[in-house]
Structure 1
Amino acid sequence: MRRHHPFRLDLDAPMTRPITRPTLDTLQAGRAFAALVVLLFHVEITLALPQYLGREIHPVFDMGYSGVHFFFVLSGFVIMLAHGRDLGRPEAVSEFVWKRFRRIYPPLWIVLLAMLPLVLAAPAVNHNAPLDPLDLLSAFALAPALHEPLLSVAWTLRHEMLFYAVFGLIIWRPKLGLSVGAIWMALSAVLPWLGIDDWLRFFFTSQHLLFGFGALAYVALERGWVRLPRLTLFVGIALFTVTWSIPLLKLPLNGVIGNWAFGLGAALAIAGAAAVERGRGLRTPRALAFLGEASYAVYLAHLPIIYLAAEVIDRSAVLRGLPAPLLFWSVAAVSLAVGVAFHLAVEKPLLKRLPNRSPLRAATGGALP
């Protein structure tokens, strides 16, 4: 019996401080890639569960969880791109906090509110995870936690909040924040090798280094260290692909080393692609750029739809008789379509209604005491 991987996209902020162009479409393409492979991973492992089709359909997507690794690296890069010039400016903290809140929480709250009655009626929709008032408060606040009571993919957002907290501290007090960040990264690099327990693993998972990889990729790009951008892009894609392939070839891959390899591959690919685009040597198809804009909505909405689609298939003898690849791609298409619809009908209009600038900054003139 295959283990149902816990879900752990970010779902980063708008890019408000570009390098030389109004936007870097390659970053949106990266978001699109990450969202798609995570979605396909979830379709594969859900339909392969014994209560549904009970067999693998496209095992190549078993490694699609690495889309999360790509998202974490992309998050570190994008936060530096958007707020790197704010470091050491305490008056910018409220703006940083507001933009993180505005981007992450309102769409999440809508999905969580929609999930609540569904989980109460059918606990299996979220793997029968425990549910009590403190769990609910934790889910809506994205506080540290060891399980997800409503939406299993929200685990990544809790780790995003840790990263944002450290980065906000760096903006406010750079020396203190960089010291805390360095200690956090060092412990996240070392402790996972020592067999740490669940709570220490939450705060010091090796995946936290991926945020640092992304931030360093931005620094390398900004300082002109990416001298051979096309080669850098190729090496990054090659490393990511080789790491993806190792378990598929039935070869062992240590979890920590896998995290680092995926992270380094993603960092090289992102830095290389951004450098090539900055030199106007790379164009991103509009469809990929749009899907990147919708990636957070797709990430939030796709898993419940996959589960509901699997239940419909399980209860229909006609559907169960269809070829498994047809069912796979149909479920993937439906879940993607619902995520895009959520982006267009809910997320995008909602963000337009929310002010771009921090209400706290407007009230206090932007400075923190």
Structure 2
Amino acid sequence: MAKSANHQKLNLLQVFRGIAAVMVIFAHCDLIFNQNFQKDFFGKIFNFGGSGVDFFFVLSGFIILYIHQSDIGNRSKLKSFFIKRVTRIYPIYWVVLTLKLSASLFFAYDPDTSQRNVLEIFKAFILFPQRQEILASSFLGVSWTLSYEVFFYIIFGLLIGLKPKLCFPIISTWLLLTFTHFIGIFDLPKDSFMLNFIFNEHNLEFFLGCVAAYIVSKHKIPQEMTLICLGAFLYTLGAINYYYKVVDISPVISFGIPSMLLVIGSTSLEMRKHVHVNKILIYIGNASYSIYLMHGFFINNITKLILKVAPDITENILILNMLGLIIAFIALLFGCAVYSYIEKPLLSIFKPKLATT
């Protein structure tokens, strides 16, 4: 999280963003290994890494309310809010998506892309919700999460742009319907993609982040380490349950709530006293968005190259797993390079204060 007026810079949240990005890298290593090698990556023990997305959503909810809570009800701040959000999300995303589409169309990297119509391509560029199978086969697989991010910004924008007596009933009703759908009281037609997107349980994770920001800003939390340990313990339980599938439980409960506890505990701790955080970890957190966007493209291409150059290597599972760790590490470095040499220069084109959170 970047420093904003009257807000303390919270480096631990940047570390969490980096950790979430690394978890997603490992989860996608297994996904791509299965796709290209028909082999598991470390016996699927990193499959829970997809929960990094749940962590990202909670972090995003926290960051937005923590920084912009004073803007609520102040319509004059609406334009500034959306400029910040657009400049943070879209420029590097457009670059990466354009590179992917160019590779698909000119080098037959992904033949399915040529089957997509202009409307689907336009939707991909503006992050309008589309089915995951379309995004994964033709555009950027991770972009489905960005659609939820943009939707959350629009919802929060209502808090800024509308009077409380109008926006609070709208948002409260939406939250109530989302929650009742989550617990199974409110049913939606399964064939209605947009309704299932609008009332999807992932939206509750942004709300959990907002709750965390409200608690931290309004109350002093005396037992920060207890919350951090409890959050880490519950997150670990969620990861174990995800692997063994002991109980069928929603990621909102198994990862969203523990993420909220981790955020409340860590931010409360950092607000109370100085916490030394390694600069490399902060840098990885800063680069997490570029890492998130680029890692799948990199891992997919490297594994395909290995399959062509040394197909026999896939027969030795130990060597393949070690190679996977190396690929994951290089994917991390590649994402960091994209951040330093593409994302940061792109952001510097805009006003720095509008593009740093």
The alignment of Structure 1 onto Structure 2 pairs a total of residues equal to: 341
Q: What is the rounded CA distance, in whole Å, between the counterparts of 1:68 and 1:129 in structure 2?
A: 29
Q: Does 1:349 align with 2:345?
A: yes
Q: Alpha carbons of 1:128 and 1:113: their partners in 2 closer, same or farther (altered >3 Å)?
A: closer
Alignment partner, residue 227 of structure 1: 222
What SS does structure 1 have at the residue aligned with 2:122? helix
| 1:75-154 superposed matches below 5 A | 75-121=60-106, 125=110, 131-146=116-131, 147-148=134-135, 149-154=138-143
The alpha carbon displacement at 1:241 in A equals: 1.3
Q: What is the rounded CA distance, in whole Å, between the counterparts of 2:189 and 2:303 in structure 1?
A: 36
| 1:288-303 superposed matches below 5 A | 288-303=281-296
Q: Alpha carbons of 1:126 and 1:52: their partners in 2 closer, same or farther (altered >3 Å)?
A: farther
Q: Give unpaired runs (5+ residues) of structure 2.
A: none
Q: Deviations over 1:64-95 (max 9, x none)?
A: 10000000000000001221111111100000
The alpha carbon displacement at 1:124 in A equals: 6.8
Q: Deviations over 1:227-258 (max 9, x none)?
A: 3111111111111111111022341323xx33
Q: Deviations over 1:145-174 (max 9, x none)?
A: 223241110111111111000101101124
Contact 1:14 1:82 in 2 (8 A): no
Letter in 1 for 2:305: V
Contact 2:96 2:294 in 1 (8 A): yes
Q: What is the rounded CA distance, in whole Å, between the counterparts of 2:205 and 2:111 in structure 1?
A: 27
Q: What is the rounded CA distance, in whole Å, between the counterparts of 2:232 and 2:114 in structure 1?
A: 36
Alignment partner, residue 16 of structure 1: 4
Q: Percent identity?
A: 28
Q: Does 1:52 align with 2:49?
A: no
Contact 1:210 1:260 in 2 (8 A): no
Q: What is the rounded CA distance, in whole Å, between the counterparts of 1:73 and 1:189 in structure 2?
A: 16
What SS does structure 2 have at the residue aligned with 1:315? helix
Contact 2:15 2:281 in 1 (8 A): yes
Alignment partner, residue 159 of structure 2: 170
Contact 1:99 1:356 in 2 (8 A): no
Q: What is the rounded CA distance, in whole Å, between the counterparts of 1:130 and 1:210 in structure 2?
A: 34
Alignment partner, residue 41 of structure 1: 27
Q: Alpha carbons of 1:66 and 1:174: their partners in 2 closer, same or farther (altered >3 Å)?
A: farther
Letter in 1 for 2:309: S
Letter in 1 for 2:181: L
Alignment partner, residue 252 of structure 1: 247
Q: Alpha carbons of 1:341 and 1:266: their partners in 2 closer, same or farther (altered >3 Å)?
A: same
Q: Does 1:334 align with 2:334?
A: no
Contact 2:54 2:202 in 1 (8 A): yes
As a proportion of its length, which structure holds more helix? 2
The alpha carbon displacement at 1:58 in A equals: 4.4
Q: Does 1:185 align with 2:175?
A: yes
Q: What is the rounded CA distance, in whole Å, between the counterparts of 2:294 and 2:343 in structure 1?
A: 11
Q: Deviations over 1:173-220 (max 9, x none)?
A: 242223222222222222243364233221111110000000000111
Contact 2:21 2:292 in 1 (8 A): yes
| TM-score for the superposition, normalised by structure 2 | 0.89
Contact 1:126 1:150 in 2 (8 A): no
What SS does structure 1 have at the residue aligned with 2:237? helix
Contact 1:273 1:282 in 2 (8 A): no
Kindly report structure 1 stretches of 4+ aligned residues shifted beyond 3 Å: 121-130, 318-322
Contact 2:66 2:217 in 1 (8 A): no
Alignment partner, residue 208 of structure 1: 203
Letter in 2 for 1:107: I
Over the aligned positions, Cα root-mean-square deviation in angstroms equals 2.1
Contact 1:306 1:335 in 2 (8 A): yes
What SS does structure 2 have at the residue aligned with 1:120? helix
Contact 2:220 2:268 in 1 (8 A): no
Q: Alpha carbons of 1:342 and 1:225: their partners in 2 closer, same or farther (altered >3 Å)?
A: same
Letter in 1 for 2:224: P
What SS does structure 2 have at the residue aligned with 1:64? helix
The alpha carbon displacement at 1:18 in A equals: 5.4
Q: What is the rounded CA distance, in whole Å, between the counterparts of 1:266 and 1:315 in structure 2?
A: 41
Contact 1:43 1:332 in 2 (8 A): yes
Letter in 1 for 2:341: A
Q: What is the rounded CA distance, in whole Å, between the counterparts of 2:103 and 2:345 in structure 1?
A: 25
Letter in 2 for 1:335: A
> Of 190, 194, 214, which aligns to 1:199?
194
Q: Give unpaired runs (5+ residues) of structure 1.
A: 1-12, 359-369
Contact 1:37 1:67 in 2 (8 A): yes
Contact 1:57 1:324 in 2 (8 A): no
The alpha carbon displacement at 1:324 in A equals: 1.4
Alignment partner, residue 66 of structure 1: 51
Contact 2:101 2:113 in 1 (8 A): no
Contact 2:104 2:114 in 1 (8 A): no
